Amino acid sequence: MSEETLSFLSNLLQIELECVSVWIAGPLVVTLCASLAWAQFPRECITPEGLRSGQCCPSPAGVAGDECGSSTGRGQCVTIAADSRRHGPQYPYAGRDDRERWPLRFFNRTCQCNGNFSGYNCGRCKHGLTGANCDQRISVVRRNVMQMSTAEKQAFVNALDQAKKTVHPDLVICTRRYQEVLGPDGNTPQFQNVTIYNYFVWSHYYSVSKTYLGPGQASFGGVDFSHEGPGFVTWHRFHLLQLERDMQDMLGDPTFALPYWNFAIGGSECDICTNDLLGARSAFDMNSISPNSVFSQWRVICESVEDYDALGTICNSTESSPIRRNPAGNVARPMVQRLPEPQDVLDCLELNTFDTPPYYSTSSESFRNSIEGYSAPQGMYDPVIRSLHNLAHLFLNGTGGQTHLSPNDPIFVLLHTFTDAVFDEWLRRHQPGEIVYPEENAPIGHNRRFNMVPFWPPVTNAEMFVPAPENLGYSYEVQWPARPLTLSEIITVAIVVAVVVVAAVGGVVACAVRARSHSSAEVLEPLLAETYRRYSEEDRRLDNPQSVV
Ligand SMILES: O=C1C=c2cc(C(=O)O)[nH]c2=CC1=O
């Protein structure tokens, strides 16, 4: 597409167009153009009128008067319900952050889909369903990446690389807070296109970024909409589901499933850091990825976090440095030079309580805080401890260990699918129901009915607090390590074994005795008979000497 054509279209439509050329195969290059949109919302909702109305209810067929596919019964436009329950004391402000009561700062009306329909315009099916009427079940299996064939590994690496380069078909990202979103002239929306993988990175950054309090004031860092609270497991679950769905669409393959990395293997070796998977260590720089891995070509986004915090801006799509990674190389923190142990997973799965007050990174006896890794796997909170998920992040020692940047390292995907597998196993074993998820007093963003930031259309923590195979269309193929026996179990087993052995030995002896007595009877019988005969003859002779001939 020529510059003139672009400019003509842009003028015609009265919107700013941004284009990215994507190489498909051979000489085939597709130029994707997108209008610059509002926040990470659908393109259809980006008009100034749309934003002023606070309504984002597109038609799946693009037909006027068919909001949310209402004419075909798919859904209707409704007022958004945002959580208004009390949150914990960690965030002491009100009205200072665009993410409060998400997404009301941007939109207050959205599509509510009927039955099994779903999506921002009710044009697709809920997770786990397919077909024109969304009434056929479909499920994918997430597998251990180490157990995949060479071809499967290659296909996964290629798919990630394609996602890094492919512009997101529906969503665009905002690069300014709402207050400045129309630009200096009040008429220039501050938005950018973003690739599928970089959207995955950006949404994590947006959820953890600090609250801007004004020029010259330090931004407030005591806020995190996706960590240090019960929403940790539900937020990351949806984050992965969205990437998996985007990649399925990109590949045209509804069976595509994200694999997982079982990071609970102990030791100090990153087993997936090989060039057929996530990239080996470079021979030239121990903090870099080998040039023989495609991931050495990747560039990170959201690196200039100090600038964003000082200026009150937001991360944009600009890519900067390569991924940094030095597994087990943090010499200043020996405790993060080793991966979690298999036993750590078993221990946290035994914790009965999902989360405990204050539902924060200081919680004790909380399954969530243990799998997140701020408390010991057995549940005890200790500020110096880092375990499970946190330990795996810190072990990577580089891009993957810094919260605002970590998804830039694709190991993030596999680390989190395993974390999600543990969460799903906990749900399966404990069968808790949403009642155990705190309704209020969790840190901001983490209450049960809070819409997770920054996802669109709105989705609550509660919606992800369900067993995945039955509700979300995926399951894990995973062999959990066997639990070693406790002392009392060992004693019980020893007693049972002893009883069985004694009984068996007793039985054998009894049989032998019986067999022996039985066979001696047979063997002795002629002897007895003989004796008896000899005795009888002797008897007769002695008793009756005249009878002897
Ligand atoms: O990306 C992350 C990086 C983290 C580092 C810690 C820590 O415990 O210091 N926790 C993290 C969580 C992340 O998601």
| One pLDDT digit (tens) per residue for the chain, 549 residues | 333 333 333 333 323 333 333 333 333 333 333 332 223 778 778 777 777 789 999 999 999 999 999 999 999 999 999 999 999 999 999 999 999 999 999 899 999 999 999 999 999 999 999 999 999 999 999 999 999 999 999 999 999 999 999 999 988 898 888 888 777 887 777 888 999 999 999 999 999 999 999 999 999 999 999 999 999 999 999 999 999 999 999 999 999 999 999 999 999 999 999 999 999 999 999 999 999 999 999 999 999 999 999 999 999 999 999 999 999 999 999 999 999 999 999 999 999 999 999 999 999 999 999 999 999 999 999 999 999 999 999 999 999 999 999 999 999 999 999 999 999 999 999 999 999 999 999 999 999 999 999 999 999 999 999 999 999 999 999 999 887 777 787 888 888 888 888 888 877 777 666 766 555 444 433 333 333 334 344 444 544 544 432
Instruction: Establish whether residue 386 lines the binding site of ligand 1, counting it when its CB lies within 6 angstroms of any ligand atom.
Output: yes
Question: In angstroms, rounded to a whole number, what is the distance separating the alpha carbons of residues 168 and 166?
Answer: 6
Instruction: Establish whether residue 393 lines the binding site of ligand 1, counting it when its CB lies within 6 angstroms of any ligand atom.
Output: yes
Residue 50 CA, ligand 1 centroid: distance in Å: 37
> Which atom of ligand 1 is found nearest the CA of 226?
14
Which residue has the least CA distance to atom 10 on ligand 1?
Answer: 390
Instruction: Establish whether residue 369 lines the binding site of ligand 1, counting it when its CB lies within 6 angstroms of any ligand atom.
Output: no
- What is the pLDDT at residue 528? 35
User: In a mutational test of the pocket of ligand 1, which residue from 390, 408, 409 has the highest number of ligand atoms less than 8 Å from its CB?
Assistant: 390
Tell whether pTM > 0.80: yes
Residue 373 CA, ligand 1 centroid: distance in Å: 9
- 165 burial (CB, 10 Å; 0-12 / 13-18 / 19+) is middle
Residue 22 CA, ligand 1 centroid: distance in Å: 33
Q: CA 274 from chain center: how many Å? A: 22
Q: CA 420 from chain center: how many Å? A: 4
Q: CA 238 from chain center: how many Å? A: 8
Residue 405 CA, ligand 1 centroid: distance in Å: 10
Question: In angstroms, rounded to a whole number, what is the distance separating the alpha carbons of residues 317 and 535?
Answer: 115
Which residue has the least CA distance to atom 2 on ligand 1?
Answer: 403
User: In a mutational test of the pocket of ligand 1, which residue from 394, 405, 408, 420 has the highest number of ligand atoms less than 8 Å from its CB?
Assistant: 394
Residue 316 CA, ligand 1 centroid: distance in Å: 22
| Residue 547 lies inside a defined structural domain of this protein | no
Which residue has the least CA distance to atom 7 on ligand 1?
Answer: 390
449-452: Cβ within 8 A, 24+ apart: 449/81, 449/83, 449/85, 450/82, 450/83, 450/102, 450/231, 451/80, 451/82, 451/83, 451/102, 451/103, 452/102, 452/207, 452/225, 452/226, 452/231, 452/234, 452/235, 452/238
- 419-456 CB burial, b ≥16 within 10 A, e <16: bbbbbbbbbeebeeeeeebbebbbbbbbbbbbbbbbbb
Number of C-alpha atoms within 13 angstroms, CB side, residue 452?
Answer: 25
Sorted by sequence, the CB contacts under 8 Å of residue 71 that are 6+ apart come out as 63, 65
| Residue 460 lies inside a defined structural domain of this protein | yes
Residue 23, number of CB atoms within 10 A of its CB? 10
> Which atom of ligand 1 is found nearest the CA of 373?
8
| Residue 21 lies inside a defined structural domain of this protein | no
- 494-530 CB burial, b ≥16 within 10 A, e <16: eeeeeeeeeeeeeeeeeeeeeeeeeeeeeeeeeeeee
> Which atom of ligand 1 is found nearest the CA of 374?
8
Which residue has the least CA distance to atom 1 on ligand 1?
Answer: 403
Residue 213, number of CB atoms within 10 A of its CB? 14
Q: Are 310 and 218 in contact (CB under 8 A)?
A: no
Residue 446 CA, ligand 1 centroid: distance in Å: 17
| Residue 374 lies inside a defined structural domain of this protein | yes
Residue 266 CA, ligand 1 centroid: distance in Å: 19
| Residue 259 lies inside a defined structural domain of this protein | yes
Q: Which two tokens stand for residue 458?
A: 């709105």
| Residue 521 lies inside a defined structural domain of this protein | no
Amino acid at the residue 173: I
Number of C-alpha atoms within 13 angstroms, CB side, residue 476?
Answer: 25
Which residue has the least CA distance to atom 11 on ligand 1?
Answer: 390
Q: Are 391 and 268 in contact (CB under 8 A)?
A: no
Instruction: Establish whether residue 403 lines the binding site of ligand 1, counting it when its CB lies within 6 angstroms of any ligand atom.
Output: yes
User: In a mutational test of the pocket of ligand 1, which residue from 403, 405, 409, 417 has the highest number of ligand atoms less than 8 Å from its CB?
Assistant: 403
| Residue 174 lies inside a defined structural domain of this protein | yes
* Helix or strand (DSSP H, E) at 77: strand 75-79
Helices (H), 376-433: 388-396, 411-430
Q: For the chain, how many residues are written?
A: 549
Residue 400 CA, ligand 1 centroid: distance in Å: 8
Sorted by sequence, the CB contacts under 8 Å of residue 516 that are 6+ apart come out as none
> Which atom of ligand 1 is found nearest the CA of 404?
1
SS (H, E, C) 166-210: CECCCECEECECHHHCCCCCCCCCCEECCEHHHHHHHHHHHHHCC
Q: Helix or strand or coil: residue 112?
A: strand
Q: Are 42 and 56 in contact (CB under 8 A)?
A: yes
Residue 401 CA, ligand 1 centroid: distance in Å: 6
Q: Are 375 and 381 in contact (CB under 8 A)?
A: yes
Instruction: Establish whether residue 411 lines the binding site of ligand 1, counting it when its CB lies within 6 angstroms of any ligand atom.
Output: no
Residue 399 CA, ligand 1 centroid: distance in Å: 11
Domain that holds residue 168: 43-477
Instruction: Establish whether residue 394 lines the binding site of ligand 1, counting it when its CB lies within 6 angstroms of any ligand atom.
Output: yes
Residue 304 backbone phi and psi in degrees, to 5: -85, 55
CATH assignment of the domain containing 144: 1.10.1280.10
| Residue 271 lies inside a defined structural domain of this protein | yes
Instruction: Establish whether residue 259 lines the binding site of ligand 1, counting it when its CB lies within 6 angstroms of any ligand atom.
Output: no
User: In a mutational test of the pocket of ligand 1, which residue from 227, 391, 393 has the highest number of ligand atoms less than 8 Å from its CB?
Assistant: 393
* Helix or strand (DSSP H, E) at 510: helix 487-543
Question: In angstroms, rounded to a whole number, what is the distance separating the alpha carbons of residues 422 and 233?
Answer: 10
Residue 126 backbone phi and psi in degrees, to 5: -60, 160
Residue 310 CA, ligand 1 centroid: distance in Å: 22
Instruction: Establish whether residue 175 lines the binding site of ligand 1, counting it when its CB lies within 6 angstroms of any ligand atom.
Output: no
Residue of 146, 112, 121 whose CA lies nearest to 42? 121
Q: What ipTM describes this predicted complex?
A: 0.95
Instruction: Establish whether residue 399 lines the binding site of ligand 1, counting it when its CB lies within 6 angstroms of any ligand atom.
Output: no
**Number of domains making up the chain:** 1
Residue 441 CA, ligand 1 centroid: distance in Å: 23
Residue 390 CA, ligand 1 centroid: distance in Å: 5
Q: Are 161 and 195 in contact (CB under 8 A)?
A: no
Evaluate the omega torsion of the peptide bond into residue 443 and state whether it is cis, within 30 degrees of 0.
Answer: no
Instruction: Establish whether residue 387 lines the binding site of ligand 1, counting it when its CB lies within 6 angstroms of any ligand atom.
Output: no
**Between the CA of residue 301 and those of 21, 183, 407, what are the distances in Å?**
19, 22, 10
